[in-house]
Amino acid sequence: MCPPSAGINPDLSTVARIRNAAMVRFAKDGFGAGLRAIAADAGVTAGLITHHFGSKEGLRRACDEEVLRLARKKTEDSEVLGGPVDLLSQMARAEEYLPASAYTLRCVMEGGPLVASLLDSLIADTVELLRAGVDGGFISPSADEFERVRYLVYSGFGALVFFTRYAASDPTDVEAVIREFQEWSGPVAAELYSTPLITSPAALTEYIRAARTGRRSSAGPKPPEQPPSGRSEATE
């Protein structure tokens, strides 16, 4: 049996050690990573992986299920307002969550069933948390709480993807990515969440109406005046 790689806790059960090694390897190399590499990381044989998980697809499902379990646990144990970046940030700061954090970031980048399940779970949890905040008087109510939450969660994931691809100093280092993203986005998000972007209630109402009907808001910028066809100011 091969010795476990650095960063994989040898005190974990064999199943947990394989699963964590798979999360880290998938995060580093993508989902094309082979069972032999994962086995070497976990200090086991490839045959033992198939014995416990059946196939690489079965191992992926086990990784997905563990991420969802940890995400629910972290949400229940904290007062995170459901945002994916807040959740990943808290997970990345704890050693036990690092494999799941790295794996989740890879899934967010590449898509797949885990992301859809994680989105659904985060949205549902966040709706309840924000409703409690509204009832407590420290969060503004929304005309459509579910859609507000869906936008916040989607935009959180989207911003994280773009940051990882185009701004992170090392996209392979999940701790660094999350830390850098939090340092950049935290103050910006806090301002957006606490200070109205549109200060006129009438303008906001018109903007929402125009957005829902697909029409340009009268409060928005107007295109420049065009000179009559065939003439220009230069020829006047």
Residues 92-99: contacts with CB under 8 Å, at least 24 apart: 92/174, 92/175, 92/178, 92/179, 93/175, 97/70, 98/7, 98/24, 98/174, 98/175, 99/19, 99/20, 99/21, 99/23, 99/24, 99/27
Which tens digit of pLDDT belongs to each residue from 218-228?
444 454 455 55
Mean pLDDT of 174-186: 80
Q: What is the pTM of this model?
A: 0.64
The structural domains of the chain, ordered by start, are: 1-54 (1.10.10), 64-213 (1.10.357.10)
Alpha carbon 90 to its chain centroid, in Å, reads 12
- For 229, which DSSP code? T
Alpha carbon 137 to its chain centroid, in Å, reads 27
Which tens digit of pLDDT belongs to each residue from 1-26?
444 444 455 556 899 999 999 999 99
Which tens digit of pLDDT belongs to each residue from 102-134?
888 888 888 777 788 878 887 887 788 788 888
Torsion of CA 122, 73, 115, 29, to 10 degrees: 150
Which tens digit of pLDDT belongs to each residue from 129-166?
788 888 888 888 988 999 998 998 888 888 888 998 89
